[in-house]
Amino acid sequence: MTTYFAPTQDMQFVINELTNISEIATLPAFAEEEIGTDLVEAVLEEAAKLATEVLAPINKTGDIQGITLNAEGVIPADGFADAYQNFIEGGWNGIGCPAEFGGQGLPELINTATQEMWNAANMSFALCPMLTAAAIEAIRRAGSDAQKAQFLPQLVSGEWTGTMNLTESQAGSDLSAVRCRAVPEDDYYRLFGQKIFITWGDHNMAENIIHLVLARTPDAPEGVKGISLFIVPKFLVNPDGSSGDRNDVHAVSVEHKLGIHASPTCVMAFGDKEGAIGYLVGEENKGLAYMFIMMNEARFKVGIQGLAIGERAYQAAREYAKDRVQGRPIGTKSGERVNIMHHPDVRRMLMMMKSQNEAMRALAYVTAAHMDMANHHPDPATRKAHQARLDVLIPVVKGWSTELGIEVASLGIQIHGGMGFVEETGACQHLRDARIATIYEGTTGIQAADLAGRKLHMDNGATMRALIADIETTAKALSRASHDDLTAISQGLADGVQALTEATDYMLGTDDMNAVMAVSVDYMMLTGYVCGGWHMARAAQAAHDHLANGQDSGFHKAKLVTACFYIEHVLPKANALLSSVKKGGTSIMRLTEEQF
Ligand SMILES: Cc1cc2nc3c(=O)[nH]c(=O)nc-3n(C[C@H](O)[C@H](O)[C@H](O)COP(=O)(O)OP(=O)(O)OC[C@H]3O[C@@H](n4cnc5c(N)ncnc54)[C@H](O)[C@@H]3O)c2cc1C
């Protein structure tokens, strides 16, 4: 049975040393919160208690028991409803939401650290508030004032939860194929159709469920230009705000899955009888743009899941490696048998896990800080610059971190040896849970296509080039350091910069979009490794400064060594990927369908 310890010291290190938290604290939106190291520490410590004492203990039991569907609807696993009450009573559901709707209005940066904890402690549970947060964001940005007043306070408090209803059997990655119908009637619409794979599409933990649904009105044009977004509550909302009649939307079945067993994945039937009443969000036919608000929010948070599961798997593997006695130290034939942490190859695996987790965390938290600046900085030009950086980074955080999450969870099994392959230790669950994160909210291929096909070209590569220039500045600054580790890090980072520059030149310089798409995942992963290396280098510099100032802590020494490991053993993957990118995927496209 694995336990979870929230790595609050690591989280605070990233927040305090690698992000512009002090600048974020001065933004007008956060002026009243008096955000400083004390507040960050207090929030993280409280969140850690909930994650470790309430959510983590029901992770494995939820995995074993799963959910059930009966005539009343979905029944969550034991302990989930109580944990959810605990979660919302603590105000955690709305910590990143605006105060005007009852939230605590804290920066996304702090919220991101709590997201990491919820997902590491219990990813199935965390999906429910994650989708509520995405629904809140879509209604807040695209809904009418009346819709905001009607739905946001209860969604923010968590009394109601939210869902995202995009997928239909013929419309997965390609949402242009959505067929669900919305027929106008009075001041609402009636929806008919079926959605599949809807996360937390039904449950009894909250009073109401607010579904955000993509559908087509009768005269809508074909394709993505004819999709509209609707709010479809499970229970209609009375004028006084209380829950009224049951709407014609039901979970008709639930999927049996590889992982996240305690998160219901529902087939939702809309309009089996008179039609489900739905309210149009914004204008007709602009639904996909609104849904993208929700998807971007969710994509970033799914990226956090890669990190979170990686951290959980690492902790389990580390504890097992300390405990498991096997063999003797290299070069000795007799004497005490030792724990497996003595073996260099086990250490290699642990370092792979630890260093990639730290790189993922740094990139994710820095990205969250861009979110705060993009959303709240008073100067429009500054907001625009942060938004541009964010647009490029979100597919990387989602695609790269979730791929790494699987790799790290798999290493966790390897460290457990045979015990990793049996369910008892819990290592299997981490890999099973991690596996979905590269699929939902847009597969890795879709994230890579977004980066290489859209984001990179939006400004002719200017945002990516500015990012590369920033990384190069760090590499150059480190090259002047008089410390062997930092000099070595600077050299490795300079090589990474070169790889990303050449890969970007290739991606921008070729007109063959088949070639661009064939190597897009390689390009996205390369970008992730180099961005991760950048922040590991910055972490090394910060740790070195603390050590130089006489803070001789094992924590800072470990940060420096972990950065060295990443630069020596992980970042060189960027060069291998560059070589693949430059081949332009020629062999990928050569076989005919019959030859596969
Ligand atoms: C557990 C779970 C929970 C989910 N939760 C939700 C939810 O809450 N709400 C919701 O609406 N949906 C949800 N989904 C659906 C999920 O978002 C889709 O499964 C996902 O978007 C992929 O769509 P698909 O399954 O139809 O795969 P497909 O689109 O059929 O893709 C199959 C393969 O083809 C590739 N591919 C497809 N098109 C392209 C392309 N243009 N370029 C390159 N590669 C391509 C994909 O990368 C993938 O490898 C969930 C799914 C699961 C399994």
Region 5-21: mean pLDDT is 98
Q: Is the pLDDT of residue 259 over 70?
A: yes
Q: How confident is the model at residue 2 (pLDDT cuts 50, 70, 90)?
A: low
User: Do 75 and 62 touch, CB atoms closer than 8 A?
Assistant: no
User: Do 73 and 254 touch, CB atoms closer than 8 A?
Assistant: no
The protein residue whose alpha carbon is closest to atom 27 in ligand 1 is: 172
Give the tens place of pLDDT for each residue, 144-154. Answer: 999 999 999 99
Q: What CA–CA distance (Å, rounded) separates 126 from 266?
A: 17
User: Active-site residue 53, yes or no?
Assistant: no
Q: Is the pLDDT of residue 429 over 80?
A: yes
For residue 53, count other CB atoms closer than 10 A to its CB. Answer: 11
Using the structure block, give the residue that is written with the tokens 């800072």: 556
Cα distances from 389 to residues 16, 25, 78, 368, 448, in angstroms, run 20, 20, 42, 11, 16
Atom of ligand 1 nearest to the CA of 444: 47
Q: What CA–CA distance (Å, rounded) separates 539 from 545?
A: 10
Give the tens place of pLDDT for each residue, 561-587. Answer: 999 999 999 999 999 999 999 998 889
For residue 355, the 8-state DSSP code is H
User: Do 398 and 441 touch, CB atoms closer than 8 A?
Assistant: yes
The protein residue whose alpha carbon is closest to atom 38 in ligand 1 is: 173
Amino acid at 183: V
**Catalytic hit among 311, 441, 472, 502:** 441
The closest alpha carbon to 40, from 19, 16, 17, belongs to 16
C-alpha 287 to ligand 1 mean position (Å)? 19
Mean pLDDT of the chain: 96
Cβ–ligand 1 distance for 440 under 6 Å, the answer: yes
Give the tens place of pLDDT for each residue, 173-205. Answer: 999 999 999 999 999 999 999 999 999 999 999
For residue 238, the 8-state DSSP code is P
- pLDDT score for 36: 87
User: Do 340 and 326 touch, CB atoms closer than 8 A?
Assistant: yes
Q: Which residues pair with 265 in a beta bridge?
A: 199
> pTM of the prediction?
0.97
Atom of ligand 1 nearest to the CA of 200: 8
Atom of ligand 1 nearest to the CA of 199: 8
Q: What CA–CA distance (Å, rounded) separates 113 from 106?
A: 12
Q: How confident is the model at residue 556 (pLDDT cuts 50, 70, 90)?
A: very high
User: Do 466 and 458 touch, CB atoms closer than 8 A?
Assistant: no
Q: How confident is the model at residue 452 (pLDDT cuts 50, 70, 90)?
A: very high
Q: Where are the alpha helices (DSSP H) in 221-286?
A: none
